[in-house]
C-alpha cells in the first residue's frame, strides 16, 4: 500500500516562506503524477500544484502561480512545495496526493492516494 507523509508545515508571517515535503513509502514517482492540495476551514479542498511523472510538466492554481514552486526528487522519492510570498489566504491544511497517470490535473477526484496533511498558518 502506498503511503504519503507530509512535513514542513508551520507558521509564517505574510511575505514569508515555507517548504513542504512529502515522502512516499514506495517508489511510485515513475508512474504517478504528484500533487499538492489544501483545505482551509469551511472551504472545499482545492488543487494547488501538480507535477508530472518525469517532472517536466507543472500545473499551478491561479492563486499560487508565481509564488509557489513544486518539485520532485525521484531518487529520494520525495515531493516538495516551496511557498514564497505567503499570504494570510494561504492558511490551510496541505495535502500531498498521487495519481496513477502521467498527465496531471488539479482535480482531487482524480487522485488515488493521500497523505494526512500538514498545517500551514500565515498570520502577522
Q: How many residues does the chain have?
A: 124
Strands (E), 40-83: 46-51, 58-60, 68-73, 78-83
Of 2-11, 12-21, 55-64, 109-118, the least confident = 55-64
pLDDT at 51: 92
Q: Regarding predicted confidence, which is higher, 55 or 67?
A: 67
Distance CA(80)–CA(121), nearest Å, equals 18
Q: Which of 28, 49, 45, 46 is nearest to 102 (CA)?
A: 28
Distance CA(68)–CA(66), nearest Å, equals 6
Cβ neighbours for 41, distance < 8 A, ≥ 6 positions apart:
none
Amino acid at each position: 500500500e502506498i503511503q504519503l507523509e507530509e512535513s514542513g508545515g508551520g507558521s509564517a508571517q505574510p511575505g514569508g516562506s515555507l517548504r513542504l515535503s512529502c515522502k512516499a513509502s514506495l517508489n511510485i514517482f515513475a508512474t504517478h503524477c504528484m500533487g499538492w492540495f489544501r483545505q482551509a476551514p469551511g472551504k472545499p479542498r482545492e488543487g494547488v500544484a501538480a507535477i508530472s511523472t518525469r517532472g517536466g510538466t507543472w500545473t499551478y492554481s491561479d492563486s499560487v502561480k508565481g509564488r509557489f514552486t513544486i518539485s520532485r526528487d525521484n531518487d529520494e522519492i520525495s515531493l516538495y512545495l516551496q511557498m514564497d510570498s505567503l499570504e494570510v489566504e494561504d492558511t490551510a491544511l496541505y495535502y500531498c496526493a498521487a495519481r496513477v497517470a502521467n498527465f496531471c490535473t488539479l482535480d482531487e477526484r482524480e487522485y488515488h492516494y493521500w497523505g494526512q496533511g500538514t498545517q500551514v498558518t500565515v498570520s502577522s
